[in-house]
Amino acid sequence: MRETHARKMVVISGNAHPALAKAICNYLDIPLANAYVRRFPDGELDVKVQDDVRGSDAFVVQPTCEPVNENLVALLMMIDCLKRASAERVTAVLPYYGYARKDRKDEGRVPITAKLVANLITTAGADRVLALDLHASQIQGFFDIPVDHLSGLAVLARPFQEMKIPNLVVVSPDLGSVKLAIPFAQRLGAALAVVEKRRLRPDVTEPGFVIGDVQGKNVLMIDDIIATGGSVCAAAKLLKEKGAASIQVAATHPVLCGPAVQRLGEAPIDRIVVTDTIPLQEAALGLPISVVSVANLLGEAIRRIHFDESVSQLFT
């Protein structure tokens, strides 16, 4: 970076995804700050930033992925550490926001954990948040500090734009993902279809019917998260029954928990494209899966925040 600024920019990685933090630093052409997260014999975490951060503009890169609670606590500790070390501003960079799916009371006597996590991050001392593809956009309003919410659609769309797939139909695997599918289809100049599903239990869904024409079409399903893989795999089977010629899947966050890898391997899915917001587990490497990086997107957002430039152009 040729620009100069009164505050020094510092990028610090937690233990969740140091490879992504290093890639962000490569884009910014700065070194990754020297810090560590260790574990005491009793299981408690120990955090230390070993570089001088007084007066700095600090960015903590820490997706709160599995192990979710440990990575969340490490994030809170690093924010607290930086504030006590007199960093002028601390931004929590959350490529993946854990607990995002608990964003409302959908039944009695349950917590709104996404709001609780927002309170914890703010109380720890974060001055602002940089997030990517939050499961629910309203989570931005859970914070009383500025939130820059980026979209990974441009990054996910790029490999498919290069492929120039004929007879392409972008499919939303449920009604909730239509908000992603519409702009994704517009980017690719594709038709749109939707799979209607019923949720039988929190982790079990059942596809109902397809809204739109997929007969003989090349289908591209888009979602923000692949967790257990239940929704996307059930939708893939239904789409194949409806005559889809090929099925590809794009998703921002490859959580891939529980039986996800097995389900994806058995489903009629030809290709999966995900981003590196979360480290891809080794078990998934046997799948027809490829990873595109969001490091440059996050790096550019960090650069603009640091130099007090508009981030709005990166929202789309």
> What DSSP designation does 10 have?
E
Cα distances (angstroms) measured from residue 107 to each of 3, 6, 102, 114: 51, 50, 11, 15
CA–CA dist 261, 228 (Å, integer): 8
Tally the C-alpha atoms within 13 A of residue 19's C-alpha that lie toward its C-beta.
Answer: 8
In the chain, what's the furthest Cα-to-Cα distance?
A: 61
83 is catalytic: no
The strand order across the sheet containing 289-292 reads 204-211, 191-201, 168-172, 218-225, 246-253, 271-275, 289-292
Quickly list DSSP for 181-212.
HHHHHHHHT-EEEEEEEEEEETTEEEEEEEES
CA–CA dist 237, 9 (Å, integer): 48
Quickly list DSSP for 268-293.
S-SEEEEESSSPPPGGGGGSSEEEE-
- Is residue 243 classed as helix, strand or coil in its secondary structure? coil
The residue annotated as part of the active site, out of 102, 197, 237, 240, is: 197
CA–CA dist 276, 192 (Å, integer): 26
| Residues with catalytic function | 197
